[in-house]
Every structure is written in structure tokens, then in C-alpha cells.
Structure 1
Amino acid sequence: YSKSRFCGYQFQGIVDCEYDDTIDNMIYFVKNIFNQKLTTIYESRVQKYVGFGEFGIHNASHYNSQAWKMAIRKAEVETICRYSARFFKLSTLERIVRLTKPSRHGELSMLEYSVLGFYPQEVRVTVTSTDTLANGDWSYQLHSYLEFRPQRRESVSCMVEHPSLDEPLEVVWGERPGEEREGGEDSWNGNVGPRGTERGKNILLIAVFL
């Protein structure tokens, strides 16, 4: 990540490594942002730059014509992404905190919905919410809380509406058909989170039972 500002203009360069439980399927992004607008993005799966707007398309074509730059980007999947992932994996502590007392039906409980990584800032969530919080990378996050008393066979859902979504994004927390809740039929424990990706934006919606 780098940022420079000159005479009121701002340029950002962001590198992003995405992977699952293993580092074999690593995806590497290099993003160039000028005055809060994405101009070019390199993606390792296609191994080339894609430009946005007249200025970005011109730059992407120039970058793709530079064999040395393409070779560097290809190598950075290993030298930046996989190298860093191995380091963080070795230095990350294993989670040792465990739920000791699952909530029972009828007890006053709290359900938290977190909406992460959305841009622009305007968003609507149909439960009590915190203020939107800036992440520092032009995206925002928001946390919402619902206080309720869980009942057997009860289902609770949260819906998010955002300009980057073609339709509202909804996550349902509660009993899933054909599944028993963790801890037995009389206990409640949940953590589910669908991701909505529309028009180049990423929104992660997580429901966590507290």
C-alpha cells in the first residue's frame, strides 16, 4: 500500500492477496487509484491489467506491453503473497477461547450483524445500527445489534440495501432445515456470513450470536 499527494491530487497503489484455507489458490491484485477512482487493476488469474476510463485504459495497455513488468507481477504471487501468507500463518496464535455456556431458549440474547467493506458510504440495515466506520481504504463497515429472546424454531434475518447491490442482501440466522443446532436442540449458537459481490464492489454480511 502506498499513497502520495501533490497539489490536491491523490494517488494510491494497493496490493491485495486473497486465498482460502490453503495458499495454493492465491489471487493477487494490484490496484491503482487516482482521486478515489480505480484506474487500473492487475489480477493474477488473467495475468494482465484492466483499465477503467480513458486514462486507465491507456495506462493498462502500456503496462501490459511491458514484458518486464508482467514478469514481476507474476513472480509477486510467490514473493509477496505466498511468502507473507506463510509468515502470518506461523506467527498467528491459535484460537483458544471457547463458548462455555450456550444460550438457552427464552434467555435475553444479543445478535450482531456486521456489514464490512462497502463503498460508497450510504447503506441501510433494517436493525439498530452503529454509525458507519471508515476502514481507511475507501470502504466502510457497520455493526448492528438485535436484542431478543430466542424461541424454539425461530428464525431471524438481516437485510442490507446498498447502491452496489442489484437487490437487497439478506442473511438468515436461526435453525437450518435438516440440521441440529450446535450444542443440542435446546442451545443456540450461530455464525453465518454470505458475501455479495456486485458491479466490482464487495460486501461481507456476517451474523454472529453473542
Structure 2
Amino acid sequence: MKGLNFLHSLTVSAVLLCTSPTGGYVFQGIYDCEYGDNITDVVFLVKNIFNMKLNNMYDSRVGKYVGFGSYGIKNAEHYNTQAWKMALRRAQVDILCRYNARLFRQSTLDRKVPPVVRVHLDKPADYGVRTMLRCSVLGFYPQEVRVSWLRDGAEVSSDVSSTDVLANEDWTFQVHSYLELTPKRGERVSCRVEHSSLPESLELDWDSFALDAKYAKMTVGIVFSFVGFSAAAGGAVYFWWRRRFDFSRVDSQGSSST
């Protein structure tokens, strides 16, 4: 395991402190697991430190204790003759290091949480009026993500801005991308998100229903206003015509029979 690149280090035991009330001696025992880039390469170390100096250390790369200084070398030779201690140290490579590596991988390297994507306006808008769209990408893991904008299927880069990737309290992330535009009727505007948790890129269209509904309501209002005005005008004309041409009926009761 020579030349192993240690990027991760995990201490899996508490530091043991033994002090003398008069001499002030301190003994520390540290169990340490160190991992390479892919978490499969592991080095297990047991460090015995006396008064801030490394006395001896078990190193899984050589499978035995190594001493430092005359006193440390004596201790290392003694530990190496203890079969039960050496068997325990070999077992701890799996019990402590590889077990914790699996937990670490599940919670970090192998963890995939797909994002929730929303495309919406920050404030009310209208066709033909400059406004801003927001694409909110929420609750994803890992951190690496790419967000882009499409107009009628073509990617746009101008008038685009974005926040930094922000961390959430549950170890997920969020990011918000913005597009300044002048909405056009019938135009398709989409937010595209690329993330390792997704089998393919996700494209979500901006739903312009609110703008279309606004115009639909205006049209319906105009139609009903016109119908109401026409009905009122027709009623007024009919009333005027009745009063203008209302001939009295002949009173048949005014004539008597002989």
C-alpha cells in the first residue's frame, strides 16, 4: 500500500488519558483509520503516545507494532509477541475500519437524492413586459448540479444568473437560477437540470397558464359586458317603442245591444 493517497481519516476510538497527580504524565491511545480516494484502501493505526511523544504504533501495512526510541522499541517488541493482541488488531481492520467505511460510503459517496424542480415567476407579469423567471432546484445530493435555460428548445446563456449552491440542514443542497425575459405568447420556456441522481436530464416547462387565464378572464368579461350592454340597450329600445306606438284597445263594453 506504498504511495497510498490518504484523503480521509477517521478516528474510531476515544482518546484515553491517564494522569499522575504529582508528575503530570499523560498517556494517549488513539485508534485511527485512514482511507484512500475510493474508500477501499484502508490503513489501520493504533498510536500509543506518552507525554505528547509517539512511543509505538501498530501499522496494518506491516502487520505489527513499530517502536520509536529505546523505550518504544521495547514496548513494540513485547506487543508483537502477544498473539491475542496481534489477532485482535488484524480483526479490527474489518470490525472498525471497513465497517465504518461502508457506513461512510452509504451516507456520502453512494448517496443519491434527486432534486425537486419548480419554475415560477417572482412577481406578477404580463406578455410583452420584461420580467424574471426563477428555477428552484431543491433537496438534491450530491452537490454537483448543472442548471440551464431553454427557449423553444434552444439553450440560452444571456440574461441568466444563479445563486451559489446552498447547503440544507438535512445534508442536501439547493440552488436557484434566474432568467430575464419578455414573455411571448406561445413560446416554450424550460429549465433543464442535470444531476447524477437522474437517469437523464430533467426539463420542466414554465407554465404560463396564469397569464393565459388572465387574458381569458378579460375576454370573458368583455363578452359578458357586451352581452349585458346589448340586452340593456335592446330593453330600452323596446320600452321606447311600446310607449311610442302603444294604441289603446277599443272598449267593447261601451256599446250596448238593442
Q: Same fold (TM over 0.5)?
A: no
Larger radius of gyration: 2
Structure with the higher fraction of residues in helix conformation: 2
Relative contact order, higher structure (CA 8 A, sep 6+): 1
